[in-house]
Structure 1
């Protein structure tokens, strides 16, 4: 089997981690968390930063042990066998289908600030259009270049940190941090779920593990730098939201709190320009999420976990068009469900975060079963216990997990019948 060259050093791995974890969720999640728990949301961000290091370390060690583009699914198969891995893969696909429209809806929310589209269902329809546009771009093989994505990430960080510095020096007030618990202690639990969504991505070590130079040294260094960098950006942004907006404004602004901060700094025109920039960045990331999910669906089809007819590529760019067309209906079902219940970005986070938590919990149990070092196994158990706690405090998310697991089982049973049709007597 051909091997990949080991060319990815600490700096390159840090960029990979930060790109995978942070994205443009930093423009959305701090405002939503503040809208739920007020200033106490800062405690949730700090707790998740502390949780990130052992979380990332376990997945890095597993990636070094099983370097494969299937990622966590490969770990799970090594620990529990192909049947569990297959169903877990379909469960993850369902979670991605629910999670991916988040930034499209958030982008629509920011555009709505400029276009004066404020009714939630109208925002959802605009988000559906953005999601469809993302799929169309992918159908034609149009994607953001990896290097361009890195440049955009750098510009995003500069944009965010510059805004935070100006806000701290002009509009931030320490009095805004009180009362710390305006909605009570229980709100902190849901804020924790929201903040967790911002740290999904540490598991993306596996696809590049074969390309890392001196993994035993590079992974720990990159994880430490990545956790500090991502944590600093999220906490700084969260602190800016808390200190720059009143509790009432924070509750009202939610996902678009960044636009409100820009308005306080430079007036309505600056706020509108910032909203357009934020929406553009989210659209580009939505395009990347759609790309990744279509490839994951293609991979599941190729391995027989979902209908094999989706494992088909077209054109010179070898685009998995059938998988992308399937996503039109799958994403459409997610947004249609949101439309019926008049759901928001918080609804998406509440459901899909629990899906990711269960997926990671299975991965941590797999790590505890397969890692050789006792210290790492203990770490996996401890991280798994925290993951289980976060999973347990969200009953709605647990309901989603139950439904998604039933669907995953149904899909696999249907696939098994297709592969081994019963012989008529």
Structure 2
């Protein structure tokens, strides 16, 4: 007699798409480049004149150990929590929650600022006003949310093309303006004194804060230990070349006019392209803005899911936070926050400069926390460890120029502390911290995605 079985083999699980070198570099470069190259050269020139080039150089030098430290930590602890993962391992859950809230709270402000910059370029090219610029920015934000809802693998492919096109336009603008550079535009070199360099660095930090967003994508690589350092090196090379070339040509070609323009990229292109500069700059602005907003939303949405999973934020945020999944609830919360910030900005309560400086303050706080964690987690007395010390000092100096805006990370930290305290009481216990010398269990969430080995 033949015995039949009704058991059928379980269907094979679909393979999870992972970031490769190309798409990973595109996402990281898109996060670091951001819309800063569209507006910040002019704002920095207004603050420090030709000496703003020194601010660019200082921040580029500072970003090297920042990027390498975050890459080393991300390779060891790949997780959607990013910097919050590193801080948790170094200082415990409460500190990690505060850092997570800093980044999560900064993203809606920065996203709206980025979208407004892109909207201004496009509206200017079309001869439209501020209302049209706001509407265009809203469309960019909506498109970025849609791309992230589809899935990170699609966002990475789109961004690979966007960053390649962007780099070509930025280098083209610099090459076009180079013949018009003159040494007279570099004198007097420091018209406002040394303090102006620090002020310029304070606003320029907006253009160097993308390493935090990229750190949240570490868990999406097929082999973080192999791929993340390579992606970081490629991104550093691209960003250094583009930023330095644009900073020098903006001062050298535009001179004092650099401080009075809202669209420095358009003015650079106009040196050779004439009236065609506006549509070219508008297209570049649209690509750049979408790329930056897309990457920040990708990183922040995963951070929100990790915070919810770990009890540092409402638990319902954790839905969709697994590798390869789409954290749509976290994206929805970010959409609400972006809408609120957009309404405030449209009412004239704050301007673009205020939005950018507020974002820079929060992200500089995150950077400093990540660097201090690197000092605790990375091998000591190595060149990278000493470089992290130097970058920590420089980042703290940049934060000192934020002034009253330091209230924002302070308030976010207090809200985080209040939530974790109430959540701990609701569970009948306070959040646990790892005690030195005790065995450590395999961590989850913002505690990290792999063991220490």
- Give the TM-score taking structure 1 as reference length: 0.83
Rounded Cα–Cα distance in structure 2 between residues aligned with 1:67 and 1:318: 16
Q: Which stretch of the first structure deviates more once superposed, 378-387 or 204-213?
A: 204-213
Q: Which stretch of the first structure deviates more once superposed, 71-80 or 177-186?
A: 177-186
1:405 and 2:377 correspond: no
1:57 Cα offset (Å): 2.8
Instruction: Provide structure 2 residue ranges, at least 5 long, that are not aligned to the other structure.
Output: 1-15, 430-453
1:39 and 2:50 correspond: yes
2:29 aligns with 18
1:172 aligns with 181
**Larger of the two Rg values belongs to structure:** 2
1:200 and 2:219 correspond: no
SS of the aligned residue for 1:60 comes to helix
Rounded Cα–Cα distance in structure 2 between residues aligned with 1:411 and 1:125: 35
1:234 and 2:243 correspond: yes
1:362 Cα offset (Å): 1.7
> Paired residue for 1:104, among 115, 118, 121?
115
Rounded Cα–Cα distance in structure 2 between residues aligned with 1:138 and 1:223: 22
Instruction: Provide the aligned C-alpha RMSD in A.
Output: 3.5
Question: Cα gap change, 1:175/1:118 in structure 2, threshold over 3 Å: closer, same or farther?
Answer: farther
1:329 aligns with 336
1:270 aligns with 277
Rounded Cα–Cα distance in structure 1 between residues aligned with 2:140 and 2:169: 23
CA deviation map 1:49-84 (0-9, x unaligned):
222222223223323443334222221111112222
> Paired residue for 1:60, among 55, 67, 71?
71
Question: Cα gap change, 1:158/1:414 in structure 2, threshold over 3 Å: closer, same or farther?
Answer: same
1:392 aligns with 400
1:383 and 2:391 correspond: yes
1:345 and 2:356 correspond: no
Question: Cα gap change, 1:176/1:377 in structure 2, threshold over 3 Å: closer, same or farther?
Answer: closer
Q: Is the 8 A contact 1:68 1:209 kept in 2?
A: no
Count matched residues: 409
2:443 aligns with none
Instruction: Provide structure 1 residue ranges, at least 5 long, that are not aligned to the other structure.
Output: none
Question: Cα gap change, 1:418/1:124 in structure 2, threshold over 3 Å: closer, same or farther?
Answer: farther
SS of the aligned residue for 1:323 comes to helix
1:394 Cα offset (Å): 1.6
Rounded Cα–Cα distance in structure 1 between residues aligned with 2:268 and 2:100: 40
- Give the TM-score taking structure 2 as reference length: 0.78
1:192 Cα offset (Å): 0.6
CA deviation map 1:118-156 (0-9, x unaligned):
44x764455345434533554566985423322321221
> Paired residue for 2:61, among 27, 50, 62?
50
SS of the aligned residue for 2:208 comes to coil
Question: Cα gap change, 1:142/1:113 in structure 2, threshold over 3 Å: closer, same or farther?
Answer: farther
> Paired residue for 1:252, among 254, 260, 271?
260
> Paired residue for 1:161, among 164, 167, 171?
171
Question: Cα gap change, 1:341/1:409 in structure 2, threshold over 3 Å: closer, same or farther?
Answer: farther
1:311 Cα offset (Å): 3.6
Q: Is the 8 A contact 1:87 1:412 kept in 2?
A: no
Rounded Cα–Cα distance in structure 1 between residues aligned with 2:28 and 2:295: 15
1:27 aligns with 38
